[in-house]
Copies of this chain bind each other. A is one copy, B any other.
Amino acid sequence: MSDEIKQLKLWTGNHYNEGIGRDDIFDKLREECGVFGVFNIPNASSLSYYGLHALQHRGEESAGICTVDTADNNNFAYHRGMGLVKEVFDKEKIASLKGDRSIGHVRYSTAGESKLANAQPLIFRYRDGDLAVATNGNIVNAPEIRKELESQGSIFQTSSDTEVIAHLIARSPKDFEAAAKEALQRLVGGFAFLLMTNDKLLVASDPNGLRPLVMGKMGNNGYVFSSESCAFESIGAEYVRDVQPGELLILDENGMREDRYATVERRATCAMEYIYFARPDSDINTINIHSARKRMGKQLAMESFVDADIVTGVPDSSISAAIGYAEQTGIPYELGLIKNKYTGRTFIQPSQELREQGVKMKLSAVRKVVEGKRVVMIDDSIVRGTTSRRIVNMLREAGAIEVHVRITSPPFKNPCYYGIDTPDRKELIASSRTVEEIREMINADSLFFLSNEGFIDSVGGNDGAYNRGMCLACFDNDYPTPVNEESDKSCSC
């Protein structure tokens, strides 16, 4: 609707950028939100502010916090807005969100004011009082549940599928906890849920554990929940464990109870979290992301060594892997590509004319570093190939004599139904092309993808902690839940 919010964001490596131009939208995967919960800790909104700030890379377009104040009749308060956490909240707003419980959310994308209504946490008023919902992921069968609810007279305020869970709960004759459990059982997909009423906080992960969700503790009997563990480090909380697939945690005046609403047939953590989305200082299933990526780089070196002068990573997500590749091969690691991190929402994208003159948006090659060199360029994935081609050409124009592209994941061939915004299958370059065809399209001297087995080994590493239960559907078409062509792919949040 408006041009204001035409930027999408990606997170890359040990830093993450503030936005890329529209034409890049279709060539990078987009993360689908982050959630953060606080239970039984004073100034919950303030902690949420810092927690969500640490999850900012998971969603830069809207932010929201809802609090419950047990010292004041379990009152609800909330604030949501478009923009970064630091833009949506100021001291006054945080102070006005009183309470010792909260749930918060960052969201990756939207389009204009009319979508502020979709910013989470969603807030509902129903029979038993207030209900707030924050989620990360996607409910595959939301459209059919929604249709069913509408036929029964439900009305929806948002286009967000997340709203269906609130209606399922409100329509149930059972009490909130039982109703929520029943509602969760109806949902198919990959999701992490935080549900808060005046009395209770519920925390749930989907039956395959597709989307990450971790639990921490803080102070006396205080709990925190987060999409990624990096938020715990930033607020001084202690990591306890990952929320398990099919698990349902109930927190109220009696403390926390651990329950489950589904049996787990297959654990299937999203592989792209390890490859691309999560911050390098987060751990998922106790595996550190930076370390996993470095192992991917090493594995890639073992699988596809090439004689070259320097190794460089596409900032920011491929930095760790590039370091690993360099370490394994002994080829020096260099900053051959550099990113301007000031580029953000209000940045004026260069016109076509300026681009042709050579004005670059945010990534540029470092001439003195790459000139006359044979370059190994590490990247995390190739979606449509247009960005890869642009970067390869950028390196060549800066004087690289050879550009060897190494990808730290297997070819991305199939769309995601669990909360990652992917183009249609036919637009995925790897869905219908050989590696050699892709290499030619991106103008590389050579191109290798990490093997499925190599990737799995890299994530698991040597620490034996990992049970290999990942969702690799985007690579191998083996979806952990039923899906069909009509299934909803767009993110529920």
Contact = CB atoms under 8 A, between A and B. Distances in A.
Contact of A156 (B54, B56, B126, B316): B126
B343 A86 contact: yes
Nearest to A367: B233
B123 A157 contact: yes
A171 B426 CA distance: 41
A478 interface: no
A104 interface: no
A96 B3 CA distance: 10
Contacts of A364: 230, 233-234, 281
A127 interface: yes
A150 interface: yes
A238 to B, nearest CB: 9
Interface stretch (A283-291, A409-417, A430-438): A283-291
B96 A2 contact: yes
Given A53-B342, A126-B155, A155-B170, A368 B291 contact: yes
A170 B157 contact: no
A159 interface: yes
Contacts of A277: none
A358 to B, nearest CB: 2
Given A288-B366, A341-B15, A366-B280, A151 B124 contact: no
Contact of A237 (B153, B347, B358): B358
A79 interface: yes
A131 B113 contact: no
A54 B386 CA distance: 24
B113 A126 contact: no
A304 interface: no
Interface string A315-328: 11001100100010
A339 interface: yes
A289 B52 CA distance: 35
A279 interface: yes
Contacts of A154: 126, 153-155, 170
A384 B166 CA distance: 44
Contact of A127 (B80, B131, B153, B323): B153
The size class of the interface chain A forms with chain B is 35 or more
B159 A93 contact: no
B127 A46 contact: no
Contacts of A153: 126-127, 154, 167, 170-172
B114 A126 contact: no
A91 B327 contact: no
B338 A86 contact: no
Interface string A294-323: 100000000000000000000110011001
Contact of A87 (B49, B126, B346, B368): B346
A114 B78 contact: yes
Contacts of A84: 342
A71 interface: no
A157 B342 contact: no
Contact of A348 (B49, B155, B157, B236): B49
Given A54-B340, A234-B360, 11 more contacts: A15-B339, A50-B350, A53-B343, A86-B343, A90-B346, A125-B157, A126-B150, A152-B171, A236-B360, A281-B338, A291-B368
Interface of A: 1-3, 14-18, 43, 46-47, 49-50, 53-54, 56, 77-81, 84-87, 89-94, 96, 112-114, 116-117, 123-127, 131, 150-159, 166-167, 170-172, 218-219, 230, 233-237, 279-281, 283, 288, 290-291, 294, 315-316, 319-320, 323, 327, 332-335, 338-344, 346-348, 350-351, 354, 357-360, 364-369, 398
10 contacts: A16-B341, A18-B341, A46-B351, A53-B342, A123-B157, A125-B150, A126-B153, A127-B153, A234-B340, A291-B368
Interchain residue pairs A-B with the least CB separation, the first 10: A236-B358, A153-B171, A288-B368, A157-B157, A281-B366, A125-B156, A15-B15, A127-B150, A126-B155, A124-B155
